[in-house]
Amino acid sequence: MSKVCIIGATSAIAQETAKLYAGRKDSLFIVGRDDARLTAIAEDLKIRGAASVNQYALDLTDISRHEDMIDTAWSTLSGIDIVLIAHGVLGQQDVCEKDYSEAARVFDANFASAASLLTILANRFEVQKSGTIAVISSVAGDRGRKSNYIYGASKAAKSTFLDGLRGRLQKSGVQVLTIKPGFVDTPMTKEFKKGLLWAKPEGIAGGIVKAIDKKKDIAYLPFFWYWIMFIIRHIPEKIFKKLSI
Amino acid sequence: MYYSWGRYPKVSQKSSPIFWRGDSIPIIKGVSLIPHGLGRSYGDICLNDGNYIIPTRALNHFIDFNPENGRLTCEAGVSLAEIIALAVPHGWFLPVTPGTKFVTVGGAIANDVHGKNHHIAGTFGNHVLDFELLRSNGERFNCSLESNPDLFKAAIGGMGLTGLITKASIQLIPIQNNLIQTETIKFKNLDAFFELSATYGKKYAYTVAWIDSMASGKSLGRGHFIAGKHAGEEFGNNLQAPPEKAIPVPIDFPEFVLNNLSIKAFNLLYYNKQLKKRSSGSTDFNTFFYPLDSIMDWNKVYGKRGMLQYQCLVPYEDREVIRSILKTISDSGQGSFLAVMKIMGDIPSPGMISFSGPGITLALDFPVTKKVFSLFLTLDKIVRAAGGRLYSAKDACMSADDFKAYYPAWKEFEKYIDPKFSSSFWRRVTGEVKS
Ligand SMILES: Cc1cc2nc3c(=O)[nH]c(=O)nc-3n(C[C@H](O)[C@H](O)[C@H](O)COP(=O)(O)OP(=O)(O)OC[C@H]3O[C@@H](n4cnc5c(N)ncnc54)[C@H](O)[C@@H]3O)c2cc1C
Ligand SMILES: NC(=O)c1ccc[n+]([C@@H]2O[C@H](COP(=O)([O-])OP(=O)(O)OC[C@H]3O[C@@H](n4cnc5c(N)ncnc54)[C@H](OP(=O)(O)O)[C@@H]3O)[C@@H](O)[C@H]2O)c1
């Protein structure tokens, strides 16, 4: 039985992941900004088999409360085996281009809040000398594209932060997993037209749990995004900058 | 992309999903809306050409489950497969189940689905204790036989038109293990089917027959009669979910794969697969209830053209009605892969315009071809003359005139429709658009 803390638990991908841990009869601590949604999720996870579910409501951009939240999670679960950080926003690229405050909102929600959480968590895991820190980043962070480079930059910062953290925590025996999903059909992408490359959150959740079980460092989900991004990363900049993607 | 199971008709629509049961219905100016569950209806009942559908699958939280008395409350996007996975290990099963478990609770209520136990259990709606109906103006109604009974009756079998069901409570039935005790009897003709239904209907909760739709003459209506009941304690108490083996159909099959010859060959082989007249045994519930679920997306076998289902209900007093339906199909030379027939019982459904009722129901699948439409027209005449009706959940063809004759309560029902809701189906069968 594991002790699992899910931050950004109302995300579609996080919910599906939580269900898988509930099915394993794990204990869960779920964090999000909407208490009513957290309650709906907690009821569901208990019925699906979770040993216990506790919830904590906060806006994750409120960094001043991070210490208290993690403290509560740590003591409620008496230590954390797995923490998944899932929250994020897509932002509006066109608005970001005109108004930095929108871009700042994206950086805060996607990067700054995660960096603050990771700072606190890393120090605790370093002492605990075991466990998993898993964070949802994105393939969008692998290379900036003109259609969504603000979101991409926030995810690139996250991925880079995690690369470094992995190095730091590896001697403590702590797994740091960067999850890079491709296109997933969730509330975040409800405005997009869905095609062949789109995955369901259930599928991504299965991939996340497997990558955690297998102690992976980086997981592209579904796996074929590794190859897509491999190609995208290798297109010469002279050509890439002219592509309309 | 959202389709219906028959992938016919092809429509152009947009979607605006609902993600939380506390959210209100997205209002989009100038367009109508219709809920869409898992799209396991065959025709256009879950489609809304030129307008919007509301995908409901994100509403998939369980709310309450009491393993002592088998009462379950869940959001309407929960699938029957998820309910089975939760309830079976605690010794509970669905009170009524269609031939696939990949349908949502909301879809099961809105089409008031029936199963092989209709003769003793009625429809899904008979086992719904209550549900919440969310209307486009933001109003929420708690509906049951006691509270808002009119809306309760209108929404059961209400085809999604009465508003969005957000959550529902149902009463499950107790089981001892994951097995179904079965008996399969090969029968020679229609009269034999009636006799078997009469005798086995008393002893078995589940009865259905597979019919060789290509057989004719003296063999008209021959097939296999399948009876089953939840196995008792003497079969052990294993409540594990049986293994799932789902083989995907990765691409649309070319259309020549399913032609009259291959369908005829299949039917002949299937009829003769069981050499003995009678065989009995036990099987896990997945194999018994959901044989088709083991092939994911089997509808793609019909190719891009799509498929149509024809499901009618006709009175059983006059056997000539069903005989002439079977003869018409057999004479047309257009075979059906899957033809199933069942005697339905007389437990009334709470639904105002539900399909189910006493009589004999026959369901057949056909690839979409030009010829099949004229076959349907001929069948429609027989069904209508006999005072029967067609199942809206499976339909893509019936005329407005026929619909209104089959479902005289439609005018009364219309009062309960949410003003912002409509569907391709509803516009077709009320004559707003020509089919
Ligand atoms: C292989 C197979 C076997 C089948 N066997 C049977 C059978 O034995 N008996 C039987 O009765 N049917 C059977 N069906 C049909 C199927 O059970 C019904 O069409 C069912 O309603 C599909 O549910 P769904 O969740 O896919 O809903 P959809 O097909 O997406 O929608 C069906 C209807 O429900 C409405 N709806 C969906 N969710 C909601 C909601 N939350 N609130 C309000 N309205 C809603 C929609 O608007 C639509 O009118 C079978 C279908 C298949 C593919
Ligand atoms: N969907 C994709 O295609 C895709 C692709 C790659 C990566 N990702 C990443 O996957 C993660 C999960 O997203 P998703 O696809 O599952 O979409 P989602 O369901 O919309 O989840 C995003 C979640 O983030 C939460 N959130 C945002 N800002 C928050 C804040 N300040 N405080 C607390 N919670 C906040 C939202 O909470 P509310 O419910 O309260 O709004 C929401 O639950 C995100 O990090 C996203 O960037 C998604």
Pairing assessment for the beta strands A175-181 and A218-221 based on DSSP bridges: parallel
Confidence of residue A227 (pLDDT cuts 50, 70, 90): very high
Q: Are residues B190 and B274 in the same domain?
A: yes
The pLDDT tens digits for B21-73 are 999 998 899 999 999 999 999 999 999 999 999 999 999 999 999 999 999 99
List the end-to-end C-alpha distance of chain A, in Å, as a whole number. Answer: 44
Task: Please answer whether residues A165 and A177 qualify as being in contact, where contact means their C-beta atoms are separated by less than 8 angstroms.
Answer: no
- pLDDT of A84 > 90? The answer is yes
CA of B147 to the centre of ligand 1 (A): 25
Q: What's residue B338's pLDDT? A: 82
Range of the domain at A18: 3-240
Who's near B312: CB < 8 A, 6+ residues apart?
A: B325, B361, B362, B379, B383, B388, B389, B390, B391
Number of domains present in the structure of chain B: 2
- State the CATH number of the domain containing residue B357: 3.30.70.2520
Residue in the structure block whose two tokens are 């794969």: B257
Compare CB distances from B19 to A44, A48, A187 and report the shortest one's residue.
A187
Q: Are residues B145 and B185 in the same domain?
A: no
Number of domains present in the structure of chain A: 1
> Last residue of some domain: B152, B175, B198?
B175
The C-alpha of B243 sits at a distance from chain A's nearest C-alpha, in angstroms, of 16
- Ligand 2 neighbourhood includes A189 CB (under 6 angstroms): yes
- Token pair of B68, please? 């002592």
- Token pair of A52, please? 């216990």
Which secondary-structure segment (H or E) carries A15?
A: helix A12-23
Compare CB distances from B62 to A12, A47, A194 and report the shortest one's residue.
A47
By C-alpha distance, the chain B residue nearest A12 is B58
Task: Please answer whether residues B243 and B293 qualify as being in contact, where contact means their C-beta atoms are separated by less than 8 angstroms.
Answer: no
Q: Mean pLDDT lowest for which of B263-267, B322-326, B375-379?
A: B263-267
Q: What is the ipTM of this complex?
A: 0.95
Specify whether the backbone of B121 is left (phi greater than 0), alpha (psi in -120 to 50) or beta: alpha
- State the CATH number of the domain containing residue B105: 3.30.465.10
Q: Are residues B119 and B132 in the same domain?
A: yes
- pLDDT of B342 > 70? The answer is yes
- Angstrom distance (rounded) from CA B58 to CA A98: 34
* CA nearest to A219, candidates A243, A244, A199, A236: A199
- Ligand 2 neighbourhood includes A88 CB (under 6 angstroms): yes
Does A12 sit within 8 Å of B62, measured CB to CB?
Answer: no
Which positions in chain B have a beta carbon within 8 angstroms of at least one beta carbon in chain A? 1, 16-17, 19-22, 58, 61-65, 86
Q: What's residue B434's pLDDT? A: 62
Does A40 sit within 8 Å of B20, measured CB to CB?
Answer: yes
Phi, psi for residue B28 in degrees, rounded to 5: -120, 125
Q: Are residues B151 and B228 in the same domain?
A: no
Q: What's residue B294's pLDDT? A: 81
Q: How many CB pairs under 8 A join A and B?
A: 31
Average pLDDT over every residue of B124-148: 98
- Angstrom distance (rounded) from CA B421 to CA A32: 33
Q: What count of residues does chain B have?
A: 435
* Residue to mutate (ligand 2; options A84, A148, A186, A204; most atoms within 8 A of CB): A186
* Closest atom of ligand 1 to CA, residue B425: 49
Task: Please answer whether residues B222 and B187 qualify as being in contact, where contact means their C-beta atoms are separated by less than 8 angstroms.
Answer: yes
Q: Which residues of B touch A44 (CB under 8 A)?
A: 61-63
Residue A194 touches chain B, beta carbons under 8 Å:
yes
> By CB neighbour count within 10 A (0-12 exposed, 13-18 middle, 19+ buried), where does B409 fall?
middle
Task: Please answer whether residues A156 and A145 qualify as being in contact, where contact means their C-beta atoms are separated by less than 8 angstroms.
Answer: no
CA A25 to chain centre: 22
Task: Please answer whether residues B392 and B371 qualify as being in contact, where contact means their C-beta atoms are separated by less than 8 angstroms.
Answer: no
Sheet arrangement for strand A175-181:
A52-57, A27-32, A3-7, A82-85, A132-136, A175-181, A218-221
Q: What's residue B259's pLDDT? A: 78
> Last residue of some domain: B175, B206, B236?
B175
Q: Are residues B189 and B224 in the same domain?
A: yes
Phi, psi for residue A158 in degrees, rounded to 5: -60, -50
Residue A94 touches chain B, beta carbons under 8 Å:
no
Q: Are residues B93 and B128 in the same domain?
A: yes
Residue in the structure block whose two tokens are 């036990």: B282
Helix axes of A149-169 and A113-128: crossing angle, nearest 10 degrees = 10
Compare CB distances from A190 to B17, B21, B63 and report the shortest one's residue.
B17
- pLDDT of B244 > 80? The answer is no
* Residue to mutate (ligand 2; options A6, A13, A220; most atoms within 8 A of CB): A13
Range of the domain at B113: 62-175
Q: Does a structural domain hold residue B1?
A: no
- Token pair of B432, please? 């707003």
Report the predicted TM-score, pTM, of the whole model to 2 decimal places. 0.96
Count the Cβ atoms, other than its own, within 10 Å of residue A166: 17
- Ligand 1 neighbourhood includes B106 CB (under 6 angstroms): yes
Q: Does a structural domain hold residue A245?
A: no
The C-alpha of A201 sits at a distance from chain B's nearest C-alpha, in angstroms, of 10
Q: Does a structural domain hold residue B381?
A: yes
The pLDDT tens digits for B190-241 are 999 999 999 999 999 999 999 999 899 999 999 999 999 999 999 999 999 8
Range 32-61 of A in CB contact (< 8 A) with B: 36-37, 40-41, 43-44, 47-48
- State the CATH number of the domain containing residue A155: 3.40.50.720
